Every structure is written in structure tokens, then in C-alpha cells.
Amino acid sequence: MEYVLKIQTPDSKGLIARITQVIFENNLNILKNDEFVDKESNIFFMRSQVEGDCEIKSLESKICAILPTQTEVAITPIEPKKIVILCTKENHCLGDLLIRYDSGELKADIVAVVSNYTLLEPLCEKFKIPFLFVSHEGLSREEHEREILKILENYTFDYIVLAKYMRILTPYFVRAFEGRIINIHHSFLPAFVGANPYKQAYNRGVKIIGATAHFVNNELDEGPIIYQDIIKVNHSMDWREMQKSGRDVEKIVLARALNLALEDRIFVFGNKTIVF
């Protein structure tokens, strides 16, 4: 069996030697190792991929015992995780994830797709993925989310993926899945908010467009960033061509960010991430 070992602890001399000694004493073999020290905070981060027979809680306790009290240790078996996707009307991010899932490229099981519109139900049916419609008509945000939460209680999952889910989540919903909601949104330099950001970007004459995938917190689009990418555009492109290119970036950025999470490569530290 293979596992991912993640350690976050105050930095000091000999950390790697002490940690690897415990790994050796428990008959585990290190397949890959990554470390990083945040100099400003003096925090050491380590991600190791190990193989062997492992009693997770016991090994976590042994590692914690040789490190400072502020240490965080997590050991996770390497196996497919489960995700729920929330979407609205746009199909490009959802469709990309479904294709990656069908081809085996996505290292996850999609247990359900939830939407406040029925528009994307036929797409999910093609891939035999359960599609759950939860109308928002006549409901407040809180009431609508309570209906979604009732549905989610029937599923076991590791992450919620917002595949262009165009509704702002309440603090209650975010708290219920803290650190487990991944969002994708357009990001420009300069930034444009509100309706039709690509048309705004065209009118401003931007030369770069891009996308950002991040964990969701209670600050709108301000959660810890997982992955970003950009493409160059020019004056010959109208806003519809910019939108098409931007959507290509959005789906690629979301897929890459999601795979980083599925492979346990992310440390959330304050409002930023360390990604191995």
C-alpha cells in the first residue's frame, strides 16, 4: 500500500533525519520526498510518498512525539477520492471534468452533480453520473443551500467542486465544508467584476486573460490560490473569441487544481498554499 505523509512543523535542525528514522523503524520505504521552509514564519513543510504496511494513527502519533507541539501530521492512503460537482448553466468546466473522469485521467470518482438548473442534465446522463436538480426559485440563499445539504447528506465525498456554479455560498455552507470546496473563476489584469467580464476586458483592450482555482472561504474569490494560468490575447480578437479562449483556460486550471488536491499535494498556510 502507498501513502502520502504530510508534515507541517516549526523548522529546526535535524528534522528530516528524525522523521525519516521513524519511517525506517516502521518498515516503510520512501518513494518520493519534497520539503520547503517558509523563512518568514520558520515553518517546515514536508510531503513524502511512502509504501509498506502502515497503521496510520500509530505512525502519526510517533511522528508527533518527536516534533514540536505545533506540528500537524496527516497520513493518507493513495486511492481515488470522491467528489461532488456543483454547476449552473455553463458546460465547459463540467464537460471537461466528465471527459477526464470517463477517460481515467481524473483521479476521482464523481458521485453526483448538483445544479439549480436542468440544462446540464443530458450531459451528465451521457456519462451515467447522477444529476440532482435543486431549484432556487422562490427560495432565499439559505433555504436553497439547506435543500442542497439535505441531498449531500446521502453521499460520502472528499471535495465539492464549483464548476462555474454562479451562486455565492453562505458562511454556514462554507463552514460545513471548510477546506473542501474548490472554485474556478476568470482572473484578469486588470480585474473585471460583474456581468460579462470578457466583454469588459475587450473594451479595456487587455493583452492577458487567465483563470484562478482556489479554495473557498467567506471572502468572495479571495480563498487560498491553488493554481493559475494565463494566455495572451490581442486587438484582433473580439470579446466572444476572448471568452472562448478564457473558457479553455478555466477548464484546464480547474482540472489541474483538482488533481493537486486529489493527490494531497497542497498545504494551506494562512491564506496561501504551498503546492508540491
Catalytic residues: 221
Answer yes or no: are the C-beta atoms of 97 and 110 closer than 8 Å: yes
As a whole number of angstroms, the distance between CA 151 and CA 219 comes to 25
Neighbours of 213 (CB within 10 A): 27
DSSP labels, 174-227: HHHTTT-EEEEEEEESS---SS-HHHHHHHHT-SEEEEEEEE--SSTT-SPEEE
As a whole number of angstroms, the distance between CA 73 and CA 59 comes to 9
Answer yes or no: are the C-beta atoms of 275 and 257 closer than 8 Å: no
As a whole number of angstroms, the distance between CA 12 and CA 67 comes to 10
Alpha carbon 99 to its chain centroid, in Å, reads 18
